[in-house]
Amino acid sequence: MESDVSANSRLTIAAHALTWIGLYQRRGHEVATSEQIATSVNTNPVVIRRLLAKLSKAGLADSRRGAGAGWMLARDLAAITLLDVYQAIEPGPVFALHRATPDPECVVGHGIGPAMTAVYDDVEAALRRELAKTTLEDVLRDILKAA
Amino acid sequence: MESDVSANSRLTIAAHALTWIGLYQRRGHEVATSEQIATSVNTNPVVIRRLLAKLSKAGLADSRRGAGAGWMLARDLAAITLLDVYQAIEPGPVFALHRATPDPECVVGHGIGPAMTAVYDDVEAALRRELAKTTLEDVLRDILKAA
DNA sequence: GTAGTTGTAACAACTATTGTTACGACTGGA
DNA sequence: TCCAGTCGTAACAATAGTTGTTACAACTAC
């Protein structure tokens, strides 16, 4: 019950994909295909294309269509933070309020929503500040250092 | 798709329940029943009992069984932080790694897990630091101030 | 043209969350 | 001693999010 298998792995996959493209381009290739990326990530190419579509809308990646098509970075790895990636994949809120409106006649039921919202806003801000500290260049450096 | 209706509302409900018990006790009552709390939260009493069972195991609440039974706080509201509540409900990780192991032959596939884990650890630490800043006494004060 | 790839819809499998019913366990008071 | 009220918890349904998969139209370098 607590294993939470369904927690978002999208940030992980998106960072993986972008880092892979970045390294591939540094090795002299122009574009990377969703098939190649999917092999490294160990998933289906459509999963990669779906994610990269969002990253493309956010201005982090670009695609080329037709024959010899594929993906490339829109910015250098050093200019992409994990916060950029996080926002690109449009994450839902970390915490939710009540599913059903609590009793408005009750003092607590009436005031708990705004009170918790204020806290949750601060928490998400802290989370974003932390994600902004790391660039994909940092991630790649970590990866190469450990290899 | 992005609305994330299924995000955890457990922290909200748990904070609501404990704050309600605290206020109820300050008004001279000994114990609060899951039925009363459920009315304020606008949910089923079993949902409240399930949550309070976890809070009880964590030492935040106590229950009395038999006739005239119900729930009471194990500590004052001022001595319970939202971090205490968060840990009591055993939240899953905010971010997940890959569902399927990425390609270990690939440099990125091999090193991305540890690299992202380090970041995620920092993010969760920041989240916990933020939650630790607020006590249920603070939450109650906010609620009463807005009323 | 044609081959190769993207973009995206559609659907299935799996899981988490929440709500609900049911019922045994427990205990204060008649 | 019995009983009424409440907890503790199992079991199941409804809903929805995530991921994997197939399919196919759109596009373009050669």
In Å, how far from its chain's centre is CA B31? 21
Which chain B residues contact residue A20 at CB under 8 A?
106, 108
By the 8 A CB rule, do A45 and A7 touch?
Answer: no
**What is the C-alpha R_g of chain B?**
19
Contact B14, B88 (CB under 8 A): yes
Residue A115 near residue B143 (C-beta atoms within 8 A)? yes
Neighboring chain A residues of B130 at a CB cutoff of 8 Å: 119, 122-123, 126
pLDDT of residue B1: 35
Query: Of B43, B69, B41, B42, which is closest to residue B56 (Cα–Cα)?
Result: B69
Over residues A82-128, the pLDDT tens digits come to: 999 999 998 889 999 999 999 999 999 999 999 999 999 999 999 99
Structure tokens at A29: 């290739």
Tokens encoding A6: 């369904």
Between CA A136 and CA A134 the distance in angstroms is 7
Helix segments in chain B, DSSP class H? 10-26, 34-41, 45-57, 82-88, 107-132, 136-146
Kindly give the parts of chain B with pLDDT less than 50: 1-6
What is the rounded distance in angstroms from the CA atom of residue A129 to the CA atom of residue B129?
13
- Restricting to A residues 100-129, those with a Cβ less than 8 Å away from any Cβ of B are 100-103, 106-112, 114-116, 118-119, 122-123, 126-127, 129
Predicted local distance difference test score (pLDDT) of residue A135? 98
Averaged pLDDT score across all residues of chain A? 94
A60-88 confidence digits (pLDDT tens)? 999 999 888 999 999 999 999 999 999 99
Q: What is the pLDDT of residue A2?
A: 35
- Give which of B55, B106, B147, B92 is closest to A114, Cα–Cα: B147
The confidence score (pLDDT) of residue A7 equals 60
Q: Is the pLDDT of residue A10 over 50?
A: yes
Nucleotides on chain D within 7 angstroms of protein Cβ: 3-11, 15-23, 26-30
How far is A125 from A136, CA to CA, in rounded Å?
20
Residue A98 pLDDT: 95
Q: Chain A interface, mutation test: which of B116, B122, B137, most A Cβ atoms within 10 Å? A: B116
Pick the residue from chain B with its C-alpha nearest to A1. Answer: B92
How confident is the model over A12-28, as a mean pLDDT? 98
Question: Given pLDDT bands bounded at 50, 70 and 90, which one contains residue A8?
Answer: confident
Closest CA–CA distance from residue A107 to any residue of chain B (Å): 7
Q: Are B97 and A11 in contact (CB under 8 A)?
A: no
Interatomic CA distance for residues B22 and A4, integer angstroms: 31
Contact A142 B5 (CB under 8 A): no
- Whole-number pLDDT of residue B58: 97
pLDDT at A46 over 60: yes
User: Between residues 50 and 89 of chain A, which touch chain B (CB distance below 8 Å)?
Assistant: 82
Give the pLDDT mean for A20-44.
98
Per-residue burial over B21-57, b = 16 or more CB atoms within 10 Å of its CB, e = otherwise: bbbbbeeeeebbbbebbbbbbbbeeebbbebbebbbe
Contact assessment for residue B83 and residue B45, using Cβ atoms and an 8 Å cutoff: no
Q: Token pair of A90, please?
A: 């449009």
